[in-house]
Amino acid sequence: MKKIDMLTPIGILIGISMVVFGVISSGGMSGFLAFIDVPSILIVLGGVFGTLCVSFPLKQLKNVGRVGKQAFQSKEINVEEIVGTFVHLSEKARREGLLSLEAELEQIDDSFVKKGILLAIDGVEPEMIRELLEAEIAAVEERHTRGRSMFEKAGDYAPAWGMIGTLVGLVLMLKSLNTPSSLGPNMAIALLTTFYGALLSNLFFQPIAAKLAGKTEHELFVKEVIIEGVIGLQAGQNSRFVQAKLKVFAPVEKRKLEEKREHVREA
Amino acid sequence: MKKIDMLTPIGILIGISMVVFGVISSGGMSGFLAFIDVPSILIVLGGVFGTLCVSFPLKQLKNVGRVGKQAFQSKEINVEEIVGTFVHLSEKARREGLLSLEAELEQIDDSFVKKGILLAIDGVEPEMIRELLEAEIAAVEERHTRGRSMFEKAGDYAPAWGMIGTLVGLVLMLKSLNTPSSLGPNMAIALLTTFYGALLSNLFFQPIAAKLAGKTEHELFVKEVIIEGVIGLQAGQNSRFVQAKLKVFAPVEKRKLEEKREHVREA
Amino acid sequence: MKKIDMLTPIGILIGISMVVFGVISSGGMSGFLAFIDVPSILIVLGGVFGTLCVSFPLKQLKNVGRVGKQAFQSKEINVEEIVGTFVHLSEKARREGLLSLEAELEQIDDSFVKKGILLAIDGVEPEMIRELLEAEIAAVEERHTRGRSMFEKAGDYAPAWGMIGTLVGLVLMLKSLNTPSSLGPNMAIALLTTFYGALLSNLFFQPIAAKLAGKTEHELFVKEVIIEGVIGLQAGQNSRFVQAKLKVFAPVEKRKLEEKREHVREA
Amino acid sequence: MKKIDMLTPIGILIGISMVVFGVISSGGMSGFLAFIDVPSILIVLGGVFGTLCVSFPLKQLKNVGRVGKQAFQSKEINVEEIVGTFVHLSEKARREGLLSLEAELEQIDDSFVKKGILLAIDGVEPEMIRELLEAEIAAVEERHTRGRSMFEKAGDYAPAWGMIGTLVGLVLMLKSLNTPSSLGPNMAIALLTTFYGALLSNLFFQPIAAKLAGKTEHELFVKEVIIEGVIGLQAGQNSRFVQAKLKVFAPVEKRKLEEKREHVREA
Amino acid sequence: MKKIDMLTPIGILIGISMVVFGVISSGGMSGFLAFIDVPSILIVLGGVFGTLCVSFPLKQLKNVGRVGKQAFQSKEINVEEIVGTFVHLSEKARREGLLSLEAELEQIDDSFVKKGILLAIDGVEPEMIRELLEAEIAAVEERHTRGRSMFEKAGDYAPAWGMIGTLVGLVLMLKSLNTPSSLGPNMAIALLTTFYGALLSNLFFQPIAAKLAGKTEHELFVKEVIIEGVIGLQAGQNSRFVQAKLKVFAPVEKRKLEEKREHVREA
C-alpha cells in the first residue's frame, strides 16, 4: 500500500518558508524580487545536470524521477504483521505439515514472503533458500544505493556549481570596476548562485538522499526478518522461538507495552 | 536507576557563558543586544527542522525529544556489580544446579540479565541463547544509531542554514549599497545566522550526538559482558574463569587497587 | 561491442554551455574574453600534471589517456543474454554431458565466459575454478581502481592549484596597490585560476572518475554472475535454479514485466 | 620504566618559537603584545571545555590529564628483549617442562607476559589463553581509544570556537562602524580567537592525539607478539620457529645488521 | 636493482615552473622577488616540523629522510620474471623433487623468494609457511604505513601553518591601519605563508605520500604472488595451474599480446 510521505513536501515547504521569512523580515516584499534570478538558477541546475550526465550511465539517469518520487511515498511495511504471519504459519506448519501452507499463500500480499514460503514448501534446502533470498536482498540494496547516489552526487555538485557561478559573476564585476555604483548589485547577483547551490544541496538533494537511505535500510531489514521467518518455518522451529527471535525487531514502545501486560497477567 | 547527567547542562552553560563573556568583554552590556535577533534564530532552527523533516520518517522524528533527553540522563550500569552477580550465580549453579537460579531471579533488576538467565534455565542451547541475545543487541544498536543520526544531521545542517541566512542578508545588503551608513549594521545582522548555526552545531547537536554515542557504546558493552556471563554460567564454567574473563572489562584504576591488595596479601 | 557513451561529451557540453550562458547573460559577448586567459589555464593544468607525476609511476601515467577514453565508451554487456546463455548451456550439459559444451564455445564472444567454461569442461575442481576466476576479477578491479585514482587525485589537486594561482595573483596585486585603478582587473585575473580549478574538478575529473567507477562496478558484477553460472553449470545444477539465481540480478523493470506475463498465463 | 618523551615538549616549543619568530620578524617586539588577549584565549579554551563536558561522561573527562600526560612519557617496551625472553623460555620449557618456568617468573617485569605464562603453566587450554589475553587487549584498546578521542574532539572543536569568537568580534565591530579608526584594531582582536583555535588544534590537540595513537598501536602490537609467544611456548613449538615468527616484528635496521652478520659467518 | 624514479623530481620541477611562469607572466621578473620571504617559509616549515615532533616518536622521525628518498627511487620488481621463476621451479620440483631446488637458490636475488623456497625445502608445513610469510608482509606493510603517515600528516599540517602565519600577519597589519599605504604590501606578505603551505602540501607532501603508497602496494602485491608461488610449488601443483594463477597478475597489455600470439599459433 503506497501512501504519500507528507513529511517530505512539508519539510521542503518549511525550509522555503524560512528563507522567504528571512527575506521579508529584513528586506520587505521588495527585497523578495532580488532572489529571483532565472539565469542564476539555470546555471546551477544546468551545471549539476551536466555533471550528472558525465557521472552516470543513461539507464540510471532515466530513473532519477522514479527514485526521487520514492522520497515522497511511504510504503507501509508492518514488521509486527509479518511477525504475526510467521508465528501463525509456523504453528500451522507444525500441526498440519508444511504443505498445508499452500492454502494460506493467497492471503499474503508481499511477493518476497510469498516467494520464500513457496521455496520452503517446494522442499528446497535451507542453504539454497537463504542463498537465493540473500542474493535478492543484495540486488535490491545495490539498485537502491545506485539510485540514491545520484542525489548524493547532486548534493556534492550543487554548491560547487554555485561557487562557479559566483566566480563568473565576480570576475565580470571586477573587470569593470570603473562603475562603482553597480558594484553592490552586481555582487548581489554573483552571490545568488552560491545561495541557490547551498539551498538545493541542503534542502533537496542531501535530505532526499537521507530519506531514501532510511527507506532502503528499513526495507532490507524487513526482508532479513522474513528470511529468518522462512528458515525457522521450514526447520519446524517452535513458534515461541520464532516469535521471540522476530519480536526482538519490533519497536521498543510496543514491546514495553506487551511486557507490562505480561506483568499484569503474571500478577 | 536514572539520574541526571549534570555534565550535559553544565557544559552547555559553560559554552554560553564563554560567548556572553566574549560579548561583554569587548562590546559591553549594550553589545549584548546585537546578538539577539529572533528572525535569525528562527531561520536557522526552522531551516534545520525543515531539513530533518525531509531527511527522516515521522516515526523517528517524533522520538527526537526522547532521544535528546537521554543525553541529560545517566543510567547507572555498574559493570562490577554485574560481574559480581555472575560470579555468585556461577558458584551457586555449580553447587546446586542451574535450576536453583530461579530463586535468585527476583533480585535481578536488569531485564536483559533476567532474560539471559531464564533462557539458560530453560535449557535453550547456548548457540540459540547467543543468537537471541545478539539479535537483541543488534536491534538496540540500530535503534540508537538511528536516533543519534538526527542530531548528527542537525549538526551538519545547522552551519549550512547559517550560511544560507547570511547569504540572504548579504544579497539584500549589497542590493541597496546606496546607503553606506547602514552597511555595517546590516552586515552584522547577516552574520548572526552564521553565528547561530556554528553555536548550535558545536555546542548542542554535535556534542549531544557524541554523548549519545558514548552511552550507546557503554550499554552495548555491558550487554556483551552479560552474554559472556550467561554462556559461561550455563556451560558450568569455573567461576574463577568467569571472573577472570569478566574482570578484564572493569576499569583500570579498580583493577590496580585489587592487584595491589593481592600483592599485600601474597606478601 | 564498443559504442560511444554519448552522455559523457553531452554532459561536458551542457556544463560548458551553462558557464557560457552565465557569462553572456550578465556580461554580454564582450565579457566573454575576460574568461580566456592562457597563462591561468596553463598554471592549473601544468600544476595538476606536475602533481600527478610526483604521485604516480610512469607506467600508470602513460595509461591516463586510455583510461580517460573509457569514460567516453560504453561496452554493451547484456546481463540477460549471459543468463540466457547459461540457462541454455546448463540444460545442454544435463542432457548431453559437460563435454558437449565444447561445440558451443565458438559462439561465445566474452573471453571470461569462454575461459570459465573451458575450465569446467577440463574438469578442474570447482574450488580451483572459483579461485582462478576470482583472482582475475581482483586483478581487473585493482587495475581499474588504480587507473581511476589518477582522475580522483586530479579532481583533488585542481582546486588546490586554482588556489595557488589565485594566491600568486593576489600577492602580486597587493604588492603594487599604488595603482588602484588596476585593482579590479588584476583581482579578476587572479580569480581565474580558482575558476578553472573548480570547473576542471567538478565538470571533468570528478565526474569522469565517477563514471569509470560505475563502469568498473558493472563489469565486476557481470563477472561475478558469470562465475556463479560456471560453477552451477559444472555442478549440474537444475537449470531452473541457475535461472532463478541469475535472474535475481536482472534489472527490475524487466522482471516486473515477466511477472505480469506469468500472472496472465496463470489466469 | 617510564621516561620523558622529550620530543613532545620540544615540538610544542618549536611550534611556539615559529609563531614568536613570525610576530617579531614582521611586527617587532611591540607587535608581540597584540597577540596576548586573555579574553580571547578564555573563550576558545572555555568553549572547547564546555563542548567536551557535553560530549563525554564525567568518568572519562577526569582522565583527560592522565591521558594527556602519556603523550609526554615514553614507555620503553623493547620488542627484541621480549622475543629473547620467549626464545629462552621455550628452550627451557622443551628441556625441563613447562612447570620449570615458574622459577623464571620473578625476573619478568611485564605483568601481561607474567599473566600469559602463568596461564600456560596452569595448563589452561590454548583457546582459552588466547581468548582471555585477546579480551584484555581489546579492553586496553577500547580504553585508549576512548581517552584519545577527547583530544581528537578538542582538535575538531577548537577551530570552531575560534570562528565563533571571531564572529562575536565581527558582529560587534560591524555594528559600530561609525568609528572607522577603530576598525582595524577591532578586527585584529576578532581574528585572535581564530588564531588561538588554529594553534591549539594544530600544535596541541591533534598532534597529541596522533602521538597517543602511535603509542597505543605499539603497545597493542607488543601484546600481540606476547600472545604468539605464550601460545608457541605452551605448544612446545621449536624455539627456532618461535624466534623466526617473532623476529619478523623486529625493526628493519636491526634485522639487516643480523643478516649481514650471518652472511659474514656463512662466508 | 635501485634506479632513480625520475618522475618525482620532474613532477616537482614542472609544478615549480608553473608557479614561476605564473609569477613572471603577470608580474614580470621584478614580481619574482615578492615571493621569496625567508621568515615566511621558516614559519611554515618550522611549524610543520614542530607538529611532527609532537605527533611521532623519535625513532620514526629519524626515518623521514630515508622514507622520503624512496619516493625518488624505483625498485625494479618484475612480476613476470618472478612468475617465470616459479613456473621453472615448479617444473623442476615435479621432475626431480623439492630438494633439487637447493641448487637453484643461488641464482635468486630476492630475499623473500629465497626465504619462502628454503621453508618449502625444509618441509615446513604449508600453513606455517603461509603464516610466517604473511606475518612478514604484515610487518612490512605496517612499517611502510607508519613511514608514509609522516608525509600525510605534513600534508595536513602545512596548510594549517600557512593559515596560522597569515593570521599573524593579518593581526599585525590590522593593528596599525593608520598607515594605509603599507596595507597592500603587508597583506601580500601575510598571504605568503598560505601560499607556501598550499604549495608544500600539494606539490610535495601529499603527492610523495601517494607515490609511497603506490610503491608499497606494488611491493605487497609482489610478495603475495610469491607466497602463492611458494605454496603451489610445495604442493607440487601442476606448473600450468601455477602459471595460470600467477599470470592473472601480469599487466594487461602483455597478456593481450600473448593471447594474440596464441591465436596466431592456433590458426
Say if the Cβ atoms of C184 and A175 lie within 8 Å.
yes
Q: Nearest by CB to E22, which of C146, C168, C174?
A: C168
> Quick check: C76 pLDDT over 70?
no
Query: Quick check: B54 and A12 in contact, CB under 8 A?
Result: yes
CA distance A127 to A142: 22
pLDDT at C149: 94
CA B159 to chain centroid, in Å, comes to 22
Nearest chain A residue to C249 by CA: give it. A139
List all residues 6 or more positions away from B229 whose beta carbon is below 8 Å from its beta carbon. B82, B83, B85, B86, B89, B90, B113, B116, B242, B246
How many CB atoms lie under 10 A from the CB of residue E89? 25
DSSP of B187-249, one letter per residue? HHHHHHHHHHHHHIIIIIIHHHHHHHHHHHHHHHHHHHHHHHHHHHHHTT--HHHHHHHHHTT
Residue A35 with chain B: CB contacts under 8 Å? 168, 171
CA-nearest residue of chain D to B5? D57
Looking at residue A155, its pLDDT comes to 96
Residues 6+ apart with CB under 8 A from D46: B14, B15, B17, B18, B21
Which of D13, D188, D211 is nearest residue E171 as measured by Cβ atoms? D188
Closest by CA to E151, choosing from E101, E105, E202, is: E202
3-state SS, residue D249? coil
Cβ <8 Å between B203 and D135: no
The residue among E22, D76, E123 whose CA lies nearest residue C173 is E22
Smallest Cα distance from A246 to chain B, Å:
9
Q: Is B123 left (phi over 0), alpha (psi -120 to 50) or beta?
A: left
DSSP class of A140: H
Q: What does the pLDDT read at residue B41?
A: 92
DSSP single-letter state for residue D201: I
Q: In chain B, what residues touch D157 (CB-CB under 8 Å)? A: 202
Lowest mean pLDDT among A16-30, A175-189, E247-261: E247-261
Q: Running DSSP on this structure, what letter comes out for residue A250?
A: S
Amino acid, res. D152: E
- DSSP code at position D205: I
Q: What is the pLDDT along chain B (267 residues), one digit of tens a residue?
A: 568 888 999 999 999 999 999 888 877 777 788 888 888 999 999 999 999 999 999 888 999 999 999 889 887 677 778 888 888 888 888 888 888 888 888 888 788 888 888 888 888 888 888 888 888 888 888 889 999 999 999 999 999 999 999 999 998 888 876 666 667 778 888 899 999 999 999 999 999 999 999 999 888 888 888 888 888 888 776 666 666 666 665 544 444 444 444 444 444
Alpha helices in C4-123 (DSSP H): 7-32, 38-55, 58-61, 64-70, 79-96, 111-121
Count contacts between A and C (CB, < 8 Å): 156
**pLDDT higher than 70, residue D254:** no
Instruction: Assign A260 a pLDDT band (cuts: 50, 70, 90).
Output: very low
Quick one: cell of B40?
A: 535569525
DSSP code at position D56? S
Of B55, B157, B173, the CB nearest to A211: B55
pLDDT score, position E202: 95
Cα torsion A159, A160, A165, A166 to 10°: value is: 70
How many whole angstroms separate alpha carbon C246 and alpha carbon C84? 9
- pLDDT at position B148 is 94
The ipTM, to two decimals, is: 0.82
Alpha helices in chain B (DSSP H): 7-32, 38-55, 58-61, 64-70, 79-96, 111-121, 126-175, 183-199, 206-234, 239-247, 252-266
| Residue to test with chain E: of D13, D16, D18, most E Cβ within 10 A | D18
Complete DSSP assignment for A24-64: HHHHHHHHHGGG--HHHHHHHHHHHHHHHHHHS-HHHHTTH
Test D164 with B202 for CB contact under 8 angstroms: yes
- Which one of C19, C163, C219 makes the best mutation probe of the A interface by having the most chain A beta carbons within 10 Å? C19
Inter-chain residue contact E202 with C157, CB threshold 8 Å: yes
- What does DSSP say about strands E2-4 and C2-4: parallel, antiparallel, or unpaired? unpaired
Q: Under a CB-based contact definition with an 8 Å cutoff, are residues D191 and D47 in contact? A: no
Best mutation target among A26, A44, A78 (most B Cβ atoms within 10 Å) is A26
CB D44 within 8 A of CB D161: yes
Enter the C-alpha cell of residue E22.
605564473
Put simply, the answer to whether D201 touches E160 (Cβ < 8 Å) is yes
Pairing of strands B73-75, B2-4: antiparallel
